[in-house]
Amino acid sequence: MRQISRRRFLRDLSLLASGTAVVGCGSAGGTADSRAGGELCGDGLSLPEALPVDAVDVRQGGSEEVLLALLPPGPAILDSLREVCAGLDWSWLNPGDRVFVKLSCNSGNAHPAVTSPTAVKAVCAELLARGAGEVLAGDQSGIAWVRLDRSGKLTGSTREMMKKNGLLAAIEESGATPWCFEEHGYEQGYFAADMTAVPGSHWSEGPFLASVLNEVDHVVTLPRLSSHLIAGCSLGHKCAIGWLRDDSRYLLHFQGETLHEKLAELNFSSPLADKHRLVITAAEKVLLDMGPDQGTVAEADPVIVIASSNLTRHDALATASLAFMDAATPPAEGLFATYGPDQADKANRLLLDVLVPARYGAPWGDRDPELYTPVPFHEYAKGIESNRVLARAFELQGGIPESIPVRLSGLEPSAELRAFLEAFGGGILHLAGS
């Protein structure tokens, strides 16, 4: 077994909560010793004939389908993603509309620690080509890297993180405008979301969301496929944490017992739910075992693209896809920790009690420590009922559906992938042709 020095142990312990421990599979600059994942398409290295990229109606209230497109990796991936985008339904977009493209930019590490820059180029370019008057794209990075506190003191920069991970260049090259929430002020940059449409909300106060939500007509979310040491996984619902003001982020973690439920409920708050049109995950790589910033990096060959107007149905398929890659990929050497019953709450406590105070020189929040509630471990990959985020989200949508139809596009999935997805959650995912 590789020896770890006491100094490294203490450093990694303090960084554990944010997933920033240095491990054998990556570095702060985003390079990675990637591990090949499971076989996603049939016939090994011999790619089958591509399936047609049909126009897919993914409007909320319309088709209940989720699109799964498997695309060959390589220099043509941008063109392939543009073709997928061209086949989606954009009828909600009117000429001159303002659209916010919500990214996952937790750190300065490269994809899959953040949204794929290629996906950003494809989606932003598609929106502008279809007549959007302005496309804003951005996020606020994780508390380990960026903080705007209630006094107005700003530490760190999402813009700098986006320079490092390639997202800023992707935004600007596509013709969109970068937008970093912390740059717009603590008071004027945020507003109290309306939770009246969320019966039984677990948010005791707030949440406060970035005010740009009130200034745009539509929201498109571009998540990633990633594990997460505290939440279990980082998919579409988890992407919403970037909208939160510092005090709401603190409350999310301090009241850890309902962290997963609050993550789901964020996406049903107004006006976010009213303006959310589409969620598209394009995973050229997948982050496994740890997260949010580092872990085992698996190459997705073929590239996995999941799209839907229904965030919860999207995340059901995304969870199954993440679980498939996890089951097929050996952990990288040197991992300090992996998501599990002994790590979820430990990582959250370290975030609250060690990492944030050490990073910013003061405690995070002013709640009585005796009122803290621990983050529960949940076996998110087992199915809908055991996934606390999905269970709460489907509850708010009236219950778990009997089935979720999955429209296939691009390469034919391998027999192993098809079998895995169709077995997920007791068979809730129904792939085309099955």
Q: What is the mean pLDDT of each run of 10 residues along the chain (434 residues)?
A: 34 43 38 50 36 36 79 97 96 98 98 98 98 98 97 98 98 98 98 96 95 98 98 98 98 98 98 98 98 97 97 98 97 92 96 96 94 97 96 97 96 97 96 79
Classify 150 as helix, strand or coil.
coil
Separation of CA 135 from chain center: 20
Residues ≥6 apart with Cβ < 8 Å to 264: 237, 388, 389, 390, 392, 393, 396
What does the pLDDT read at residue 7? 39
Domain-by-domain residue ranges, the chain?
A: 6-431
Residues ≥6 apart with Cβ < 8 Å to 196: 270
In tens, the pLDDT along 112-166 reads 999 999 999 999 999 999 999 999 999 999 999 999 999 999 999 999 999 999 9
Other CB atoms within a 10 A radius of the CB of residue 423 amount to 13
Integer Rg of the chain from CA? 20
Report the first-to-last Cα separation within the chain, whole angstroms. Answer: 45
Residues ≥6 apart with Cβ < 8 Å to 28: 22, 108, 109
Residue with tokens 């007549």: 131
Residue with tokens 């099955």: 434
In tens, the pLDDT along 407-418 reads 999 999 999 999
Both tokens of 269, joined, read: 């708050």
What does the pLDDT read at residue 336? 86
User: Can you list the positions of beta strands (E) in 104-196?
Assistant: 134-139, 147-148, 154-155, 177-180, 190-192
- Written as one letter, the residue type at 166 is G
Q: Please tell me what DSSP assigns to residue 412.
A: P
Cα–Cα distance for residue pair 30/287, rounded to 1 Å: 12
Q: Are 407 and 57 in contact (CB under 8 A)?
A: no
What does the pLDDT read at residue 206? 85
How, if at all, do strands 296-308 and 276-288 pair? Answer: antiparallel
Cα–Cα distance for residue pair 61/75, rounded to 1 Å: 36
Whole-model pTM: value is 0.89
Q: How many distinct helices (H) and strands (E) make up the chain?
A: 13, 16
Cβ-count burial of 76 within 10 angstroms (0-12 exposed, 13-18 middle, 19+ buried)? exposed
